[in-house]
Structure 1
Amino acid sequence: MSLFNVYPLFDITPVKAKDVYVYDENGTQYLDLYGGHAVISIGHSHPTYVEKLQQQLANIGFYSNSIQNPLQQQLAEKLTAISGCKFYELFLCNSGAEANENAIKLASFHTQRHKVVAFKNAFHGRTSAAVAATDNPKIVAPINAQQAVEFVDFGDIEALTNILAKGDVCAVITEIIQGVGGLDEASTEFYKTVEKLCKQFGTLFIADEVQSGFGRTGDFFAFQKHEIEPDIISIAKGMGNGFPVGGILIHPKIKASFGLLGTTFGGNHLACTAALAVIETIQQEKLLDNVEEISTYFIDKVSQISGIKTIKGRGLMLGLEFDFPIAELRKELIYNHQIFTGSSKNPNLLRILPSLTVKKEHVDVFINALTKALELKKV
């Protein structure tokens, strides 16, 4: 049986990984500044993470949500403590797409409305409602297109107001910093106005923190910079450091009932253990402080490189925008300098999403490689 060929692949086969490095079958070392789409938050094969997962697996790895699982309550408590999101309730699932799917479904249940407002260049996942709220027609199948979604320019308050005033919108969903779309972030005034309009028109405000959450921006959640209080917060990616886990934080005004949401694998023993290990490591190693320090250092260094048009994003969710498509630059970095980076919907943007454990010496390696790659391009 062959694989269903939907992924364009680099000709590299990682077989081992440690902290910010991955190693292929030939023993070649690669500096990972992409973390598998921002998934690796505390470094590959972190010893605390490995030890706790091994111990949990030796006891019990899975049972359904029909029994007590104290690890779920522990995770909720630890998540409250590190994030400061008091009074929210936690529903656990398996991925970012699933988190956003459940967020939209819950908003529809709560408001008894059917329409969603999303923003242009958004990416919220590939499940039914989540992909309909993703601004990429290439990945929206006809069955998904039945969802009632209106797209608004990122930052366009007038258009948003006119749509919400019709009274049929269950949720406004937005990434605080657009990931796949190209690292754009609107103003604090915009997010505060969205929050106000949602309250005014009885609509729920969903903050998609799937990529930007769990410390990636230096704040635990990206929305916290803007001093807003979303009704639902979706989380995944860095939450499990590679183990499939996601969830939504739900404002207490939204009431639970038996059967309202459900999942077979969500919140299983191994998933909770992975997320708890991530939180413990972020706290013990003061990784939020490291994000701030390394981000400042990185931005200062790349600012000195001619040819970079714009530096976008914040924390360790960064994008370098050039005046040319970066596809060949990425190949040069990975094949000739052994450095993983990322791309986005913006063809000129190089994405940088390393583990939160990354150090200045790793940044220096990248700066040296990027400088050489750009000089080669001029030649």
Structure 2
Amino acid sequence: MSYLFPNYGRIPLEIVSGEGTNVFDDRGNRYLDFTSGIGVCNLGHRPVQVKSAVDHQLEKVWHTSNLFESSIQEDVAQLLCQNSGGDAVFFCNSGAEANEAAIKLARKFKKKHRMISFQQSFHGRTMATLSATGQKKVRDGFEPLVENFEYFPFNDIDAITQLTGDDIGAIIIEVIQGEGGVIPANQAFLKAVEKKCKELDALLIVDEVQTGIGRTGVPFAFMHYDIKPDIITVAKGLGSGFPVGAMIGSEKLIGCFSAGTHGSTFGGNPVCMSAARATLNVVFTPSFLIEVNRKSELIMNKLDQLNKLSLVKSVRGKGLMIGIELKLEAKEVLADLRKKGLLVLPAGPKVIRLLPPLTIKESEIEEGLSLITKTLEEKETIQSV
């Protein structure tokens, strides 16, 4: 009997330790982790820089109220703003909370009730972020949702061009849909979205919860596309496994979140902030991001051979956020890979999602991709018999 709600489809193994790209289960089995805790452990498991910073903070203070000044919050906020083009930061505990804050800020600032999202998007599981999520399977059973969210087709320039209304406060978008299947946006489409926001006097909110903090080879994925968001939301990779999220906003929005308008008891917790500061000091180093791009090119070149397999539909992504779309159910492959010692994720029913640590070694890339290639070749042989 379990005392836990069964709301997770749990994999039948328990990870009890990890270091770098390697994790170990309670039976001593070793796995290459190409999940990074769903894009969280960007520096791998237990990075020494983060551990040292957290150990130091644990000897000082664990928690103080946000009613007091916080120099460590200021440090992390400065790093985020300097590397995003934003001007102010609100700290919280997760990506859903960051998106919730963005939705609240947009409504309060624009005083408009309609918000536009996109089909197959994922923005969180609070009532507002659930309502912003363009996947019916995620929303089912929780109706009635927050009203006035509309879902447009992703990468459809014609559809967004035809959007009208003087009551639209914001458009929220992932520049690469993660849970929706690792689907990168087209440059022209994102420019059309940005243009439409200006035409409608609406805010552009970019959800970087999964794509941010170096995951795609730049500090934030929107930088690939020559757009300027009004609000950016981040979490996952920000704290190297410690629960921290952030909303980054432009200068014009600062006065709208005055004292008492929004808050979080644990948001900006000093222990989590110490982890975030140490993480950002590594990830935002230009030489580190150059290495991420080099590794990405290496992986994509090696994965190109998978396009020769008849059961592989496409390989896509940016940086170290990669999707392999199959012509069969991904779960059939994921289980085989676990048996071989490789952990990967699904992104929808037929996509294998690769989110290895940004610190992954070349030898680990070779090992992991060899296991993927071997497993898919075996599947193809079985299907052809």
Q: Percent identity?
A: 36
Equivalent in the alignment of 1:34: 35
The residue aligned with 1:370 is 372
In the alignment, which residue of structure 1 is the partner of 2:345? 342
Aligned length: 374
Q: Offset at 1:54?
A: 1.1
Specify the alignment match of 1:267 in structure 2.
268
Partner in structure 2 of residue 324 of structure 1:
328
- Indicate if the aligned counterparts of 1:128 and 1:144 stay in contact, CA closer than 8 A: no
Inter-CA distance 28–159: structure 2 relative to 1 (3 Å threshold): same
Task: Note closer, same or farther for the CA distance 1:123–1:247 as it changes in structure 2 (3 Å cut).
Answer: same
SS of equivalent residue, structure 2 residue 345: coil
Q: Tell me whether 1:56 sits opposite 2:57 in the alignment.
A: yes
**1:1-379 aligned within 5 A:** 2-81=3-82, 83=83, 85-140=84-139, 141-143=141-143, 145-163=145-163, 165-256=164-255, 257-283=258-284, 286-305=287-306, 306-307=308-309, 308-335=312-339, 337-345=340-348, 347-377=349-379, 378-379=381-382
- CA change 1:185–1:86 in 2 (3 A) is closer
Q: Please, which runs of 5 or more residues in structure 1 have no aligned partner?
A: none
Residues of 1 paired with 2:194 and 2:171: CA distance?
9
| SS, match of residue 370 in structure 1 | helix
Distance in 2 separating the partners of 1:13 and 1:286: 35
SS in 1 for 2:145: helix
Structure-2 change in CA distance of 1:334 and 1:72 (3 Å): same
C-alpha separation in 2, matches of 1:213 and 1:124: 14
Q: Deviations over 1:183-207 (max 9, x none)?
A: 1122222212211211121111000
CA distance in structure 2 between the partners assigned to 1:186 and 1:11 by the alignment: 35
What is the aligned-residue RMSD (CA, Å)? 1.5
Q: Distance in 2 between matches of 1:26 and 1:87?
A: 46
Q: Distance in 1 between matches of 2:287 and 2:29?
A: 30
Helix, strand or coil at the partner of 2:247: strand
SS at match of 1:224: helix
> Runs of 4 or more off by more than 4 Å in structure 1?
none
**1:100-156 deviations in whole A, cap 9, x for unaligned?**
111011000001111110000000000111111112223324455232111100123
Q: Which amino acid aligns with 1:344?
A: A
Question: Which letter maps to 1:253?
Answer: K
- C-alpha contact (below 8 Å) 1:206/1:230 kept by paired residues: yes
Q: Which letter maps to 1:321? A: E
| Aligned-pair CA distance for 1:87 | 4.9
- In structure 2, the gaps of 5 or more residues are none
> How far apart are the structure 1 equivalents of 2:79 and 2:131?
33
Give the direction of change, closer, same or farther, for the CA distance of 1:34–1:168 in structure 2 (3 Å limit).
Answer: same
Q: SS of 1:286's equivalent?
A: helix
